[in-house]
Amino acid sequence: MTRTRASGRTVGGLRTLLLQAPAVTLLLLWMIVPLGMTIWFSFQYYNLLMPGMSGFAGVENYEYLLTDPALWKAMGNTLLLVGWVLAITVGGGILLAVLFQQEFAGRGIARVLAISPFFVMPTVSALVWKNMMMHPSNGVLAWLANTLGLPAMDWFSTLPLTSIVIIVAWQWLPFALLILLTAMQSLDEDQVEAARMDGAGPFAIFFFITLPHLKRAISVVIMIEMIFLLTIFAEIFVTTSGGPGLATTNLAYLIYMQALLDFDVGVASAGGVIAIILANIVAIFLVRMVARNLED
C-alpha cells in the first residue's frame, strides 16, 4: 500500500514537471539567451562603423568604460536620481496616505485624481512637463514666476537633474500613495482611538503607531521603485538628451549613447553587464531589507 502511494506521488510529480517544463524552458531561454549574448559581445570588438575591426577584445571594453569619466558621472547621476526620487515619493506618499485616510468631502474623487499620474506613459509625462510646465516662455511655472515678478527659469539648462527628479517623482508618487494607502486600510482604528484617549497627540500617533504599521509597505515601495528607477530612460531622452554635457546622463542613457549613437556594441554590452551587476547588488540589499521587515 505504501509503495502504491509513493508511486502515485512520483507519477503525479512527473506529470506536474512535464506540464511546467515548456513554460520554465521558455522563461530560461528568454532570460539566458540575451544575457549570454550581452556577455559575449562585451568581450568582442564590435563597432558597426568599423566592420573590419572584429575579434576577441578581452577586457578592453571594460577597461575603456571603467577609465572613462563618463561612466562614473553616469553612475553618480543614477544614484542621485534614485535617492532623491525615493525620498520624495516615500515621504510624500506617507503624508498623502495619512491625509487621504481622513474623512472629507470628495475623498473618492481626490484619491482617483492623485493616483492618475501613475498611468500616464513616461514619454507623454516628460513632454507635458517639458512643453507645458517647465517651458521658459510658455510654461505654467514661467507664468507663475512672471505673475510674482520673478524672472522665468530655463529649468533644463539651469537645474537639469533637478528637473528630471521632479518629473520622475511626479510619476512615481501615485504608486507609493497607492501601496501605502492600501496598507493604511488595515490600521487598527481601535488602537488609534485608545492612544487618543490616553492623551496621545497627532504626532505621537503618527510616529509610534502609523509609521511602524507602514514599515513593510515602505520596504516594498522602496524595492519596487528602485528596480525601475535604475533604468530611467524616456524622461531623459525626451527632455535633456543626457545634457547639458553629462549633467543628466544616467547609466541607462550612457549605454544607449554607446550602442545607438556611437554604434559600439562591444562597449555598450560591457556597460550592460556593469548595469546588471549594479542592479543585482542593489537587489540583494533590498531583498534582505524586505525579508527582515517581514520577519518583524
DSSP 37-84: HHHHHHTEEEBTT-TT-EEE-TTHHHHHHHT-HHHHHHHHHHHHHHHH
Report the 10 Å Cβ neighbour count for 93: 25
- 3 state DSSP class of 104: coil
Helices (H) and strands (E) in the chain, counts: 15, 2
Burial class (CB in 10 A: 0-12, 13-18, 19+), 150: exposed
Confidence (pTM): 0.86
Considering only CA atoms, which of 195, 137, 192, 125 is closest in space to residue 163?
A: 125
We find that the CATH architecture of domain 43-295 is Orthogonal Bundle (1.10)
Q: What is the largest CA-CA distance in the chain?
A: 90
Task: Provide the residue-wise pLDDT of the chain in tens; the chain has 296 residues.
Answer: 445 555 555 666 677 778 888 888 888 888 888 889 999 999 999 888 888 788 888 889 999 999 999 999 999 999 999 999 999 999 999 999 988 888 888 888 888 888 888 888 999 999 999 999 999 988 999 999 999 988 888 999 999 999 999 999 999 999 999 999 989 888 878 788 888 888 888 888 888 888 888 888 898 898 889 889 988 999 999 999 998 989 999 999 999 999 888 889 999 999 999 988 888 888 787 777 767 766 66
DSSP 8-state code for residue 248: T
CA distance linking residue 174 with residue 177, whole number of Å: 5
Asked whether the beta carbons of 83 and 163 are under 8 A apart, the reply is no
Report CA torsion sign: 244, 247, 252, 258: positive
Q: Where are the domains of the chain?
A: 1-30, 43-295
